[in-house]
Amino acid sequence: MLKLDLSKLATFLPQDYAAQRQDRLAKAAQMLDTHTGPGGDFTGWVYLPRDYDKEEFARIQAAAQKIQSQSKALVVIGIGGSYLGARAVIELLKPKSGLDIYFAGNGLSTDALLELIAAIGDRDFSVNVISKSGTTTEPAVAFRIFKGMLEQKYGKEGAKERIYTTTDKARGALKGLADTEGYEEFVVPDDVGGRFSVLTPVGLLPIAAAGIDIAALMDGAAQAMNELSAPGLDNPAWQYAAARHALYESGKKVEILACYEPCARFFAEWWKQLFGESEGKDGKGLMPASVEFTADLHSMGQYIQEGERLMLETVIKFAPKGEYLIPDDPANVDGLNFLSGKPLAFVAEQAMRGTILAHVDGGVPNVLIEMPQICEKTAGYLIYFFEYVCGLSGHLLEVNPFNQPGVEAYKKNMFALLGKPGYEDMKAELEARL
């Protein structure tokens, strides 16, 4: 399904760069396969497309149908990996289920909250709150607000039928509340971290509620799992991981993900968290960035072409779903009649090819990933491909790809400055520095 083109790296890397890393890639793949190595306890995603809980999967599908029948809007509350994957898939596939999906708890903007409340208006709505602990500030505040709105609108019993929790299976504030109140519960697996959780209930419930065929999504991921499990340098995941690592060691510090489809914007946001949170530690890692071409060629193109030579570029190309022919203009005012009758996709293809060549000539290594038309299976395959590459790449870097110790620093500071009990000394210390 996926075609990887590394031909534009020839002028940037030695011919044997992949072979030089073959033994290390084999070791990385073995660690993923056996759930060993740094962060091995969080590699449940590796065989998730095969080993997921089929009973819970059926409950997710049933809950999605219930939400669609009861509501005109669903508020998905979560931050980071608790919402980015779902939003990425929903915006990529643009389903038409009649249910509007809104995301909350991913920030602290008063204006954004008020806009969301106004957008819901008097419509019937449901809430899916996603949090392993239930105490992360942003989603906890949002859930407090929307839970109150539901209870005011439908009463406590009515609200109970419209609140769906995705949380820890055994512990945490949200788990305790769900048990007490009788909310329907789905489990955040212990062995899958947030940024790898899109194919768990974390992502699957909102994706299914949006009207997307999650069985097809998992089929695509399973196909990727089966194909990418084959060891050796013919494996595109091995090839891509080797190329990224070699370019990083050659001095490249930023990886730009470029896509020519506007619907892939949030897919890029998920991708940035996946690689940034996995590799960005111990003073190491490519910084992930993203651009939407051709639009961003007219904003970021100059820098990419002639700025600091610190980046590589990975381009995702999807096959178009349909065809639109460029019309003829008898007056030829714009001088573009040489394109009359040609498919718009042809123009886009040449724009992409011309851009890749220009960037390579400008000193930016380019990787091209070609995919079929955007659909559930394509999305599932691409999600797993990047997850697997990320696991391999993290081990090549010799970091733990599955923890995020740096995230806790800002959380502690936030709790202290907000006056959370137990943080009094830290609060005084921080305020003295402000």
- Would you please indicate which residues are annotated as catalytic (active-site) residues? 277, 298, 411
Contact between 38 and 401 (Cβ < 8 Å): yes
Cα(100)–Cα(72) distance, rounded to whole angstroms? 6
Paired tokens of 155: 């009463």
Q: Beta 100-104 vs 311-318: how paired, if at all?
A: unpaired
In terms of phi and psi (left: phi > 0; alpha: psi -120 to 50; beta: otherwise), the region of 422 is left
Contact between 374 and 318 (Cβ < 8 Å): yes
DSSP 8-class letter at 287: E
Amino acid (1-letter code) at residue 303: Y
Paired tokens of 349: 């293809």
Q: Could you tell me which of 312, 226, 219 has the C-alpha nearest to residue 13?
A: 312
Cα–Cα distances (Å) from 48 to 137, 196, 394, 429, in that order, read 29, 10, 19, 45
Contact between 358 and 305 (Cβ < 8 Å): yes
Amino acid (1-letter code) at residue 194: G
Cα–Cα distances (Å) from 121 to 96, 118, 161, in that order, read 20, 5, 19
Cα(44)–Cα(189) distance, rounded to whole angstroms? 8
Quick count: other Cβ atoms within 10 Å of Cβ 56? Answer: 17
Q: Could you tell me which of 349, 345, 392 has the C-alpha nearest to residue 368?
A: 349
How big is the CA angle at 50 (ends 46 and 56), to the nearest 5 degrees? 105
How big is the CA angle at 192 (ends 93 and 105), to the nearest 5 degrees? 60
Cα(408)–Cα(194) distance, rounded to whole angstroms? 14
Cα(25)–Cα(232) distance, rounded to whole angstroms? 8
With 0-12 / 13-18 / 19 or more C-beta atoms within 10 angstroms meaning exposed / middle / buried, residue 110 is: exposed
